[in-house]
Structure 1
Amino acid sequence: MTNRMQSEMEEADILQEIRDAGLNLGMPAGGYSDRILKRLQEEARNKRLKLPGKVRRPLFARRMIAVTVASAMLCAGIVGSGFVSPVMAAALRNIPVVGGLFQDVGKSGLKKASEAGLTTVPEQQDAQDEITITISEVAYDGIRLSMAIEREGAEGLNMVNRDRVEEHPAKGYLGYPEMYLGDTKIGYRTRTLNEIASTDQAGKVGFSDKILIAEFENLSRTDGGDIPDDFEMRVLIPVTGIEQPYEFVIPVKKMLNGITLSPEKSQSNDEFAYTVQKVILTPAMTKLIVDTKGFAPDAGPLPKGHKLSAVHFEIINEQGEGVEQEYTTFEHGLPPVMSHSEETYAPFDQRPKKLIIKPYAFIIGSDWLPVLDENGNDSKVYYDDLELKIDVKL
């Protein structure tokens, strides 16, 4: 065994080491390896996600065994426990463990959370009438619940009915999931079904017909109780053309180390005022809750046909490092005089000591979109006199 390279390791050798390590860690004989073998068989049966425009090289069976075993052993804490041979441990550490789908198709915050092991990967699957639905990965940071949902058996069909065909829609469109904690329905304030952009072999941009990400913010129980940090959730997903909803029971675990700041600090000039009500920092996102009054302050002469957008906000830390905003909306017309908004950004890599809120406005063209500068970036006007500093205190 000590002279074998990783590529020469046989399945029997791997499984024997797992059995030995499992016994030394107090696991039932055969039980752990049996679960791994069952998982391998499931992987062999399941056709994994293939996004249009991407080519993935096939993996040999032995490679798949090694990757799956590595994942299982790392999760169980067997590698590094001293109960596997040095060669086995070294080989497993050199195998790239397959991550969750958020690492491939999620927003930057979901990617970071998945890479840090802060998500759950239930791989729960239900099949009806030749269509299979899988909940592949779940993230919950106490504010937003995200689910990566895969579909097989309806290739070429969008994941959601974007054309809003009400009468006799095609079979296979996904509707909004319903969520339950026991028998109690889980409510939410906002919900979205985010389709994943992709390109086909000809380079045409469209949406994936295999995966979407469902997101829900500010969960609540309809019986008034609290949402626990760690729970099992029953999920029902309706699909057009299928009589019964697809049903799943998935584990949900809240990410730790999130904080909520309530500074209620304001800044203003003669034309514009705003108040930062809250800033929420989690491992998966940064959220700014702000009230505004007035219009973007005058920025001097603008070219004919150009105008200023509503005021938006950047957030940077004490090192001058910013976080990317998830999305920005533009009004087709004058922005409202008063607004209450919740802006979502990527998470900071490290918890900041200080936050600096930087108000700005886009220069908008006749098409109601930002004008590009000479470098191809959106043209912006910053208002240094309206900057606001917030100390991050626990």
Structure 2
Amino acid sequence: MNPSGFENQDQELDEKLQSEKENLEAEMVVIPDLVRQRLDAFYAQMESDPELLPDRPSSHLSVKRFFRGTAITAASAALIGVMIIGSAFVSPTMAESLKQVPLVDSVFKLAGDLGLQTADRKGLATSTNLSVTHDGITLKVSQIIFDGTRLVLALEKQDGGQKVLPLFTRITPDGNIPEDSIEKFDLFINGKSALNQNGAFSLLDGGPGKDSNSMIISYMRDPAGGLPDLPEQFDLKVYAKLKGVTKPFTLQTTVYKTKLGRKVLQPQISKTNQYLKYTVNRVEMTPVTTRILTTFTMLVDLKDMPDDYAVERKYISTEGPHKNYTKKEVKPLNYAVIDDKGRELEILGGSGQSISKNQPGQMVMLFTPFVDPPKKITFKPYILLMTPDGRAILDAKGQWVRQYLSEFEITIDVPQNTNHP
């Protein structure tokens, strides 16, 4: 953007924020003297040390004027943010203004994968004011997205001025969970627990958010285990237990499938050799998620599988009649998804079935969306290398080493007229 563009955008944003501030003041919102003093100190600091604010425009725009405006923008947003905390109403003008200010970035934008960032950028995610407070701690669901395949929520904690402790912290090696960190969470879909519906595969997952007081919760059904897809509309109850907080937190809402373009392919293309068959059955693409169904089929008895595809796995057991035994197994099979520009999609999760002779083992995998609509997609099956006792073999970067199976590589064309609602 040229300097005049920066200046006009800055002036427009300040005018919007000033208008909203005046509206709030008209409703008897009082700005404490201490806040005014801190704002004045903030402006002075910005002018004396402009390096504190990044992304300066080119030199022929007044640097002092630019930083003064940026400081006012940031501080005004922070101030108005304080005044509207707890309010269920944010005007469209305010919402659009705050979206332009870095201090009010969303969890999906800062911590999400490519699909969540896309949902945030395109306004596909639903912003909510769901919150509940126990023992001075407030837990809120700030964003929700459901594209028909996966349900994702942004969970945030506010401590009301108490000691700040993390919402999401990985359990330490000794098994301890820090105080106020999340101890347990579950999603109830139309009254049924997501944890209890997944059987052998737990497809309810929690990951880090934009900071220590936020996290991202994601859930998908396990179609490989026979469960139907989530309906287009359902009642959702979020359950969370924080260690050190007396009561569990529960938040309820109704979730609707986001209306967005969906491209569905059913290639049913296979590659086969004497021992294995690999088939790409179905590809579903949305701006948020890529969902792929494939199958691996073993064509011979397990005892006849060569070392390229099977291994004698050593098991160490201290209980039962069979201690320290060896069992032949098919090596862990997976595949990479590559677009026509050589970019690999990131795996988000999935599940699969074990394979036996002439019984296709279905795999359902979730990936990030394609950066651009691809004209071709390549599937590159591989084996994840493991030691005889079942430990992953890692490379110098800590990544699980892959052994690609070039004989099963499949490339499909992507027609341009396969959009579905």
TM-superposition CA deviations, 1:195-214 (whole Å, max 9, x none): 3289xxxxxxxxx7522222
1:370 paired with 2:393, answer yes
1:314 paired with 2:316, answer no
2:268 alignment partner, one of 264, 271, 274: 264
Conservation of the 8 A alpha-carbon contact between 1:126 and 1:248: no
Give the whole-Å Cα distance in 2 for the aligned partners of 1:299 and 1:277. 24
339-348 or 252-261, larger mean C-alpha shift:
252-261
Q: Larger % of helix: which?
A: 2
**Cα distance change on mapping 1:234 and 1:368 into 2, 3 Å:** closer
Where do 1:28-177 residues align within 5 Å?
Answer: 33-34=23-24, 61-64=75-78, 72-73=92-93, 98-153=104-159, 155-156=164-165, 159=168, 173-177=182-186
1:216 paired with 2:219, answer yes
1:344 is matched with which residue? 366
Where do 1:196-211 residues align within 5 Å?
Answer: 196=208, 209-211=212-214
Counterpart amino acid of residue 260 in structure 1: V
Q: Secondary structure at the match of 1:176?
A: strand
Q: Unpaired segments of 5 or more residues in structure 1?
A: 20-29, 45-55, 80-91, 199-207, 330-334
Where do 1:205-244 residues align within 5 Å?
Answer: 209-218=212-221, 227-228=231-232, 233-239=235-241, 241-243=245-247
Give the whole-Å Cα distance in 1 for the aligned partners of 2:139 and 2:380. 43
Where do 1:18-37 residues align within 5 Å?
Answer: 33-34=23-24
Counterpart amino acid of residue 122 in structure 1: T
Q: State the Cα distance separating 1:135 from its structure 2 match.
A: 0.7
Structure with higher Rg: it is: 2
Q: State the Cα distance separating 1:156 from its structure 2 match.
A: 4.2
TM-superposition CA deviations, 1:335-367 (whole Å, max 9, x none): 865633222222102222332211122444467
**Cα distance change on mapping 1:349 and 1:211 into 2, 3 Å:** same
Conservation of the 8 A alpha-carbon contact between 2:78 and 2:103: no
Give the whole-Å Cα distance in 2 for the aligned partners of 1:38 and 1:297. 79
Q: Secondary structure at the match of 1:249?
A: strand
Q: State the Cα distance separating 1:9 from its structure 2 match.
A: 8.7
Conservation of the 8 A alpha-carbon contact between 2:150 and 2:219: yes
1:25 is matched with which residue? none
Conservation of the 8 A alpha-carbon contact between 1:125 and 1:133: yes
Q: State the Cα distance separating 1:127 from its structure 2 match.
A: 0.5
Give the whole-Å Cα distance in 2 for the aligned partners of 1:40 and 1:336. 68
Counterpart amino acid of residue 251 in structure 2: E
Where do 1:251-330 residues align within 5 Å?
Answer: 252-294=256-298, 309-326=331-348
Give the whole-Å Cα distance in 1 for the aligned partners of 2:74 and 2:148. 40
**Cα distance change on mapping 1:151 and 1:379 into 2, 3 Å:** same
308-317 or 114-123, larger mean C-alpha shift:
308-317
Counterpart amino acid of residue 117 in structure 1: G
TM-superposition CA deviations, 1:32-90 (whole Å, max 9, x none): x559989999xx9xxxxxxxxxxx9998532436899x9943867xx9xxxxxxxxxxx
Q: Normalised by the size of structure 1, how large is the TM-score?
A: 0.61
Give the whole-Å Cα distance in 1 for the aligned partners of 2:230 and 2:209. 36
Give the whole-Å Cα distance in 2 for the aligned partners of 1:144 and 1:283. 12
Give the whole-Å Cα distance in 2 for the aligned partners of 1:344 and 1:275. 17
Q: State, as a whole percentage, how many aligned pairs show the same letter.
A: 19
**Cα distance change on mapping 1:283 and 1:372 into 2, 3 Å:** same
Give the whole-Å Cα distance in 2 for the aligned partners of 1:349 and 1:158. 31
Give the whole-Å Cα distance in 2 for the aligned partners of 1:348 and 1:194. 23
139-148 or 94-103, larger mean C-alpha shift:
94-103
Q: State the Cα distance separating 1:238 from its structure 2 match.
A: 3.8
Give the whole-Å Cα distance in 1 for the aligned partners of 2:26 and 2:192. 34
Aligned residues: 322
353-362 or 134-143, larger mean C-alpha shift:
353-362
Q: Secondary structure at the match of 2:347?
A: coil
Q: State the Cα distance separating 1:185 from its structure 2 match.
A: 5.5
Q: State the Cα distance separating 1:235 from its structure 2 match.
A: 2.5
Counterpart amino acid of residue 239 in structure 1: K
